[in-house]
Structure 1
Amino acid sequence: MTKPTPTEIGHGYDAFADLLDQIWGENLHHGYWDDTFDETSLEDATNRLTDKLSGLLTIEPGDRLLDLGCGIGEPAIKLATAHDIEVVGVSISERQVQRANDRVASAGLAGRLSFQLADAMELPFPDESFDIVWALESLHHMPDRWHVLRQVARVLRPGGRVAIGDFLLVSGADGQEPDAARVREVSKGVLSIVGIDEYLSNIRAAGLVPEAIEDVSKHTQPSWGKAAVRFEALRDQALPHIGAEQFELTLSRFHGFSEESTLGYVLLTARKPV
């Protein structure tokens, strides 16, 4: 199965917006749990992951941040409020952009946050126009991650930093060797992932210098099982919108990812040289 195009992904987010909210909450990304005994809710755990990634950065008041794949704006609102910065978010989902701008207006933050329809493959911004680029769980949707990283390097000011949360091939808990082909089969074309060495090599090739690297795989893995439980509970609501075949395919992905111990998750930052 071929990977969905950006347009198809955008339409998918438009069509499934209400279901996604009920599965993932306002953040639309994975959560972070300390251990298997941690009973933190999915909503609180997703905020934790935002905090974990932002904690790898030095964010100064007045910084200008670009949020790639902004969802409905929750991480951007959280970052702008906590650090007194300006945020521009982009998404390929028209509905996400509209909802994000509506939420910002309601929060009284329209002067510092804005969201627009744009493709990260061809960012519509001048060179060296951002201090930080934020890409939390969005690069796996891109047709070419490494092209996006070159776009990131272009729009970053010298000394600027990129913060990334992304899926990664890792060794399994039982010593199982990473197997990209097996992960692709489980994902049915949704995820295309590589190991850390290839990831870092491409970051350097884009003209960026890797800095912090944190493997949080064991802390984020519970997200898949929790998403599967929520999705199954939404069966009656989902079927009229996406049909039985798509529902079962999505549910099987959640279960497959939950059981695939070599599907990991990394938080990392990199800097554009001065």
Structure 2
Amino acid sequence: MTKPTPFKVGQAYDSFAELLDQLWGENLHHGYWDDPPGDLTLEEATTRLTDKLAGLLTVKPGDHLLDIGCGIGEPAIRLAAAHDITGVGISIAEGQVERANNRAGAAGLAERLSFRVADAMDLPFPDESFDIVWALESLHHMPDRWHVIRQAARVLRPGGRLAIGDFLLRRVDGVPSDASSVDLVRMGALKLVELDEYRSHLREAGLVPEAAEDVSDRTRPSWGKAAERFEALREQALQHIGAEQFETTLSRFRQFDDEPAVGYVLLAARKP
């Protein structure tokens, strides 16, 4: 069977945009909690994760940002407003791009921040175009995350920085886990890799790995929160994904909440 094109996948995401909004909020990514988690909402925690990843970088006024897998634009909008930078965000979902541009305009950032439909596997930008490439919880969706990282390295200027938030295959009691691939959404699988493999591929792309922070324990409550929200959205979700896929997804959320091998890492690398 022919695999769907990236833009067909994007159309699928747009078709249940309202469901994703209710499940994950404006950020469409995991949250960061203290230990113990306390009473932070998922929305507050997802904003904290954006700030944690930004904290691994030195962001200077006037920097030019590329946000790979921009969602509806919230992390890029937050970065542009906080650091006085310019930027471009890309997504394969036309509806997300339209909403992101509208939200940037409402935030008074339309002159500095724009969003467009593009495929991260074939970035439509010249070499050395950006000071920062940002990929927060988007690389696991890619057919080949290492190819996307090579593309990111190509469009980075010398001295530019790559910021990544991604799922991680953790060792349990010092032993590699065999949980190498798990279903996450109906369009594909969540391919997990170890931190050493990540660093190796960054170097192969011509980048210098710098900061790396395993935030698995701080992000893990996201799975339980997602399970609670997903269960509450059952009737709406069934209209989009059917009963079988709903139960599979809900089961995965609960499984990941209890699975120490499924982790999360924040990474930063620099182009020499």
Aligning the two structures, in what range does the TM-score lie when normalised by the shorter sequence?
over 0.9
Deviation at 1:5, TM superposition (A): 5.8
Identity of aligned residues (%): 70
Residues 35-85 of structure 1 deviation map (CA, whole Å, 9 limit, x = unaligned): 134221100000000000001111111100000000000001100000000
Unaligned runs of 5+ in 1: none
Per-residue deviation at 1:253? 1.8
Deviation at 1:9, TM superposition (A): 3.5
Distance 1:37 1:211 in 2: 28
CA distances 1:110-166 after superposition (whole Å, capped 9, x unpaired): 100100000100000000000000000001111111111110010000000000001
Q: Which residue of 2 aligns with 1:244?
A: 243
Name the CA distance, whole Å, in 2 between partners of 1:186 and 1:121.
Answer: 21
Displacement of 1:248 in angstroms is 1.4
Aligned to 2:203: 204
1:114 matched to 2:87: no
Q: TM-score under structure 2 normalisation?
A: 0.94
How many angstroms apart in 2 are the aligned matches of 1:102 and 1:37? 33
Give the conservation status (yes or no) of the 8 Å contact 1:6–1:142: no
1:186-228 per-residue CA deviation (whole Å, 9 max, x = no partner) reads 5485201111111100000000000111110100011011000
TM-score w.r.t. structure 1 length?
Answer: 0.93
Q: Following superposition of structure 1 onto structure 2, how do residues 1-274 of structure 1 map, counting pairs within 5 Å?
A: 6-172=6-172, 175=173, 177-180=175-178, 182-185=179-182, 187=184, 189-273=188-272
Contact 1:186 1:257 survives alignment (8 Å): no
- Name segments (4+ residues, structure 1) moved above 2 Å: 2-9, 175-180, 185-189
User: What displacement does 1:183 show?
Assistant: 4.6
For the structure 1 residues 250 and 3, does the alpha-carbon distance in structure 2 shift closer, same or farther, using more than 3 Å as the test? farther
Alpha-carbon distance in structure 2 between the residues aligned to 1:7 and 1:191: 19
Change in 2 beyond 3 A, CA 1:5/1:227: farther
> Tell me, which stretches of 5 or more residues in structure 2 are unaligned?
none
When residues 185 and 76 of structure 1 are mapped into structure 2, their CA distance, relative to the original with a 3 A threshold, is closer
Matched positions, count: 269
